[in-house]
Structure 1
Amino acid sequence: MQKVWSITGRSIAVSALALALTACQSMRGPEPVAQANIPEQGYLTASSGPSIAEQGYKDFFADPRLLQVLDLALANNRDLRTSTLNIQRAQQQYQITQNNQLPTIGASGSVLRQDTLNSNAMTSYNVGLGVTAYELDFWGRVRSLKDNALDTYLATASARDATQIALIGQVAQAWLNYSFANANLKLAEQTLKAQLESYNLNKKRFDVGIDSEVPVRQAQISVETARNDVANYKTQIAQAQNLLNLLVGQPVPVNLLPAQRITRITSSSALTAGLPSDLLNNRPDIRAAEYKLSAAGANIGAAKARLFPTISLTGNAGYASTSLSDLFKSGGFVWSIGPSIDLPIFDWGTRKANIKISETDQQIALSDYEKSIQSAFREVNDALAVRQNIGDRLAAQRRLVDATNTTYRLSNARFRAGIDSYLTVLDAQRASYAAEQGLLLLEQANMNNQVELYKTLGGGLKANTGDAVQQAPSSAERKAANSAQ
């Protein structure tokens, strides 16, 4: 009996040593260095204050109706819901790879009956617990797979954050589109009313023989053009509402739709961009690309570990007997434990090819990461370029509106006094109408640009400015931190 316990003790000691050595090695290589090659001369080079992306969307946007619409969208949008479900799926996949680092214990039972021509029949019963092919992770293969799953999960979570930021920007701009479609409709209806008055006046002058039929037909052309614009803007209002309903995921209540032209979209008086490092920290799409790059590095470690022997441990303990009634009696206890090894000899270069594939995947991920940085800087600089000149454009357009309105009023007075022909009035009407439309377009572009700048800087992830955003370190960052200690 002492011998049995001695053997058992040595086996347990060997197993404990193997477990202690598990995952102590890693075949992961050095992490690549990203070179985004961002131009030194650009709009996003300095800061006069913290980035507006640090503000929560409830503090950035000014209209309480829009804030209610945004809350509805965050609760019901299907793309955001799918992104959240993808996070749950990636989380469960990470849990599976984490569980693979632990032995799987299962219960088993069997009945075996053997019979030959030269002996009596014999029945054996067996029941017990066992560990089946538990891999001793000497080279860090299982650990690398776990790191890859963790990075994939974090990348999926960051992708969901990017979806939320994009959704908030899209909803705000769709809400503005609805507002300005209404404003254009009202302008078109006012223009149609004025054109009808001119048409009726010209028709009376023609009926009494003062003018020819030409001014009548010219006025009719303006009337039908205005009617066409009215119908067009009614279509745009319906389409803007349909888009808003799609983004929100349900019909938007009428009381939350802007009936009047929006004159202010944000509560912020200064739209600061912050430092370039703020952009890298606030943009979840850049963070997602970084996680994917880290996951690719973990795959290289798993592929390299396949070059070395795979050692697995199998064991079981239970009871066995040729009689069911004696199965659990003294002397029926049996146990076994033993390792197995898978040593690659000739695989015709398959495992080395898998390493090359993993290294290529890492280079692809690095290129995607660098491009995501470049794209983010380009988007922000484009928004800042519009921001830099939009004020001058608006001021010039307002002066143009004043000038064309004055011209139209004077031309109409001269026509009624019989000094000028109706053609002068017609030209002035068209110029005034076009200038008013251009002003509405610029005002909408101005507010869309404010939303776009907030979105491209990474704003919209927080509801309130004081909320904290946690960014978990990638497996590459954890490896670098451990190496530095």
Structure 2
Amino acid sequence: MNVPFKTSVLALAAVLTVTACSFGPGGEPPAMPSPQHYGAQAQPSKTVTADGVAQTFDVGATGAPQWWRLYRSDALDALVDEGLRNSPTLAATQRTLAAAQEQLRAQVGASTLPSIDGSVQVERARTAVVPGLGPQQVQYNFFAGQIFTHYTFDLFGETRYMNSASAARVHVQAFELEASRRALTANIVASVINVAALDRQIALTERLVEVSNAVASEDEQRFALGSVSRAQMLESKQDAASIAATLPALRQQRTCAVHALAVLIGRTPDNAPGVPDLDSLALPAHVPVAVPSDLLRSRPDIQAADAAVKAAAADVGAATAQLFPSLSLTASMGRGGFSWPTVFSGAGALWALGAGLSQPIFHGGALFAQRRASIDAYDAAVLHYKSTVLSAFQDVANSLAALDNDAQTLASAAVAADAAHAGFDDAASRHRMGSLPSTATHASESRYLNAQLGAVRAAGQRMSDTAALFQAMGELPTAQQTAASTQ
């Protein structure tokens, strides 16, 4: 090949490669609305004060990298760290990502660089010949050693598009790993809060059962003395039994929650961890509310959907490039002969050089159908991205509304519990002075215990919904993560 012709071929290849940029969509995610506020109504700047805390919504703040530490519980921190370290599900996702990254490196190396292979052949053979024309058989040795190389020019960008699609899918897996990590963290925190709240509810319910049994026992004695009706005695027994029937369900909920927590952190259920007391968990006073533009970059599910759009766009380009010609070069060189002296002599030189150009002509419409399918898949990826963003906005809106309503619920429950506590104290004092029967004291204590149960449920729900908001906010990627995702 002479130099001018070689230069022309290279120039043509460069022009065609640049032209290939228009074979597929750009892969940029569609523009999404940027609402002024997430919910149907604008969230307040802070919630009402409940249990001594008014949570402030820090609009424009980014998610905290280790938000669970805001609960200021060393025991909770230790459980989350153990889960991130030992969870087999998270470890499996990490290994799957590592395998995908290695497969991508193999694909890029095999498709963008020439392949070079070597072979060595040593053969001892015997061949029969035609009778009367020489010896009845011929025995000979054959020695050969060759190096082969092959390279396919990416004239229309098919290889580049395919590698881009594979790289984008690796990014999808990386973002899914981050989503799994954040989901694991949120599940551990929610499980700890749930178990702590159930512990408190079980303790209160156990005391409520004791009080109701005492009332039933007193009414049974009073009925024997004729001071109360049989209907009242039976009603007291029914109330005591109904309250006692709630205890097994609470204990079962706690058992299942503890078992689930053990599995989340990589333990067997029989080795379930201890859980901190509900009072040892501090409710975060400040919660971030990222602006929508930051939310698009901070949530791994949205980032994964973005990467899926890029992968689908590259698939369109690859499917289009398959319609155009493909040019490949092959070459080989080596030494061969029927004896070692021949192999190393001038007569033993072996070489070959070839070029091939192929153009799809008729494939039964398969190539065009594949291109149409890739376009439909791209449209589906764009719609999935839109759906993911809208779902993320919904998550944030629901979490913000939940925190505001949780605070109001807890504030009302706390007022009810305080009033019931004051009423119980008054009843106990009057009973000690002999001006009130014990049944009235028990009834007052029961009202107080029920009010406390409502406050505990409200406090646990508020803590859980706070964790859900941190989860919904995501976390803005660091500069290193951003650089790695663009490689």
Report the TM-score when normalising by structure 1: 0.83
Question: What is residue 113 of structure 2 aligned with on the other side?
Answer: 102
**Are 1:86 and 2:104 an aligned pair?**
no
Quote the RMSD (CA, aligned, Å): 3.6
**Are 1:30 and 2:41 an aligned pair?**
no
Q: 1:251 to 1:473 in 2, by over 3 A?
A: closer
Give percent identity, aligned residues only: 22
Question: What is residue 204 of structure 1 aligned with on the other side?
Answer: 221
Q: 1:179 to 1:316 in 2, by over 3 A?
A: same
Could you tell me which of 245, 249, 258 is aligned with 2:275? 258
Q: Output the CA distance in 2 between the equivalents of 1:418 and 1:222.
A: 26
**Are 1:391 and 2:407 an aligned pair?**
yes
Question: What is residue 471 of structure 1 aligned with on the other side?
Answer: 482
Question: What is residue 3 of structure 1 aligned with on the other side?
Answer: none
Shift of 1:401: 2.3
Shift of 1:211: 2.6
Amino acid in structure 2 at the alignment position of 1:378:
Q
Q: Is the 8 A contact 2:29 2:385 kept in 1?
A: no
Q: Is the 8 A contact 1:290 1:369 kept in 2?
A: yes
Q: 1:104 to 1:61 in 2, by over 3 A?
A: farther
Q: Output the CA distance in 1 between the equivalents of 2:128 and 2:458.
A: 94
Q: Output the CA distance in 2 between the equivalents of 1:211 and 1:412.
A: 22
Q: Output the CA distance in 2 between the equivalents of 1:52 and 1:28.
A: 35
Amino acid in structure 1 at the alignment position of 2:94:
T
Q: 1:221 to 1:401 in 2, by over 3 A?
A: same
Shift of 1:413: 8.6
Q: Output the CA distance in 1 between the equivalents of 2:213 and 2:193.
A: 30
DSSP 3-state at the match of 2:286: coil
Shift of 1:13: 6.0
Q: 1:209 to 1:414 in 2, by over 3 A?
A: farther
Structure 2 spans left out of the alignment, 5+ residues? 46-56
Q: Output the CA distance in 2 between the equivalents of 1:10 and 1:153.
A: 41
Structure 1 spans left out of the alignment, 5+ residues? 1-6, 479-485
Q: Output the CA distance in 1 between the equivalents of 2:482 and 2:269.
A: 33
Shift of 1:242: 0.3
Q: Output the CA distance in 2 between the equivalents of 1:323 and 1:206.
A: 120
Amino acid in structure 1 at the alignment position of 2:382:
L
Question: What is residue 143 of structure 2 aligned with on the other side?
Answer: 125
Amino acid in structure 1 at the alignment position of 2:408:
D
Question: What is residue 348 of structure 2 aligned with on the other side?
Answer: 332
Q: Is the 8 A contact 2:399 2:469 kept in 1?
A: yes
**Are 1:444 and 2:440 an aligned pair?**
no
Question: What is residue 483 of structure 1 aligned with on the other side?
Answer: none
Q: 1:190 to 1:254 in 2, by over 3 A?
A: farther
DSSP 3-state at the match of 1:341: strand
Q: 1:219 to 1:290 in 2, by over 3 A?
A: same
DSSP 3-state at the match of 1:402: helix
**Are 1:70 and 2:88 an aligned pair?**
no
- Map 1:341-360 onto structure 2 (within 5 A): 341-360=357-376
Q: Is the 8 A contact 1:38 1:374 kept in 2?
A: no
Q: Output the CA distance in 2 between the equivalents of 1:324 and 1:16.
A: 41
Shift of 1:326: 2.2
Q: Which digits, 9 at most, give the CA deviation of each residue in 1:344-370, with x for residues without a partner?
A: 112232211111111111111111111
Q: Is the 8 A contact 1:23 1:143 kept in 2?
A: no
Shift of 1:183: 0.4
Question: What is residue 235 of structure 2 aligned with on the other side?
Answer: 218
Q: Output the CA distance in 2 between the equivalents of 1:11 and 1:327.
A: 36
Q: Which digits, 9 at most, give the CA deviation of each residue in 1:358-414, with x for residues without a partner?
A: 111111111111111111111001000112232222111112223345556677899
Q: Output the CA distance in 2 between the equivalents of 1:10 and 1:334.
A: 24
Q: Output the CA distance in 2 between the equivalents of 1:332 and 1:290.
A: 58
Q: Which digits, 9 at most, give the CA deviation of each residue in 1:112-137, with x for residues without a partner?
A: 766653677576432111014x2111
When structure 1 is superposed on structure 2, of 115-124 and 177-186 the one drifting more is: 115-124
Shift of 1:87: 0.7
When structure 1 is superposed on structure 2, of 280-289 and 398-407 the one drifting more is: 398-407
Question: What is residue 279 of structure 1 aligned with on the other side?
Answer: 295
DSSP 3-state at the match of 2:306: helix
Shift of 1:419: 8.2
Could you tell me which of 204, 212, 228 is aligned with 1:195? 212
Shift of 1:335: 1.5
Amino acid in structure 2 at the alignment position of 1:130:
F
When structure 1 is superposed on structure 2, of 182-191 and 326-335 the one drifting more is: 326-335
Q: Output the CA distance in 2 between the equivalents of 1:406 and 1:176.
A: 28
Q: Which digits, 9 at most, give the CA deviation of each residue in 1:41-88, with x for residues without a partner?
A: 534899845525134236433111111100111111122112101211
Q: Output the CA distance in 2 between the equivalents of 1:322 and 1:445.
A: 87
Amino acid in structure 2 at the alignment position of 1:452:
A
Number of residue pairs matched by the alignment: 461
**Are 1:42 and 2:38 an aligned pair?**
yes
Question: What is residue 181 of structure 1 aligned with on the other side?
Answer: 198
Amino acid in structure 1 at the alignment position of 2:464:
N
Q: Is the 8 A contact 2:169 2:308 kept in 1?
A: yes
Q: Is the 8 A contact 2:262 2:271 kept in 1?
A: no
Q: Output the CA distance in 1 between the equivalents of 2:301 and 2:128.
A: 68
Shift of 1:440: 1.4
When structure 1 is superposed on structure 2, of 16-25 and 298-307 the one drifting more is: 16-25
When structure 1 is superposed on structure 2, of 107-116 and 14-23 the one drifting more is: 14-23
Question: What is residue 162 of structure 1 aligned with on the other side?
Answer: 179
Q: Output the CA distance in 1 between the equivalents of 2:71 and 2:420.
A: 34
Question: What is residue 245 of structure 1 aligned with on the other side?
Answer: 262
Question: What is residue 56 of structure 1 aligned with on the other side?
Answer: 66
DSSP 3-state at the match of 2:105: helix
DSSP 3-state at the match of 1:34: coil
